[in-house]
Amino acid sequence: PGTYVCAKCGHELFSSRAKYEHSSPWPAFTETVHEDSVAKREERPGALKVSCGKCGNGLGHEFLNDGPKVGQSRF
């Protein structure tokens, strides 16, 4: 339980309450802690490149409509 933060600057990113099990080997989350927790830019259709909203450290992707419920995204 707790909050996942950026390894580079400590900025709050995701809450353990938003974490869920997914077939990927990486932790999966449905939402960020704050609206400005991450910055996003389109990488390809259905996938956004995600970085820390404070320092720009690369965090992976947001996969649109791939969350545990219809219409949810997966970080």
pLDDT digits (tens, 9 = 90+) for 25-65: 889 999 999 999 999 999 999 999 999 999 999 999 999 99
How far apart, in whole angstroms, are the C-alpha atoms of residue 29 and residue 2?
13
pLDDT digits (tens, 9 = 90+) for 9-34: 999 999 999 999 999 888 999 999 99
Given this structure, which CATH class describes domain 3-63?
Answer: mainly beta
Q: Write down the domain spans for the chain.
A: 3-63
Q: Which of 15, 20, 19, 8 is nearest to 59 (CA)?
A: 8
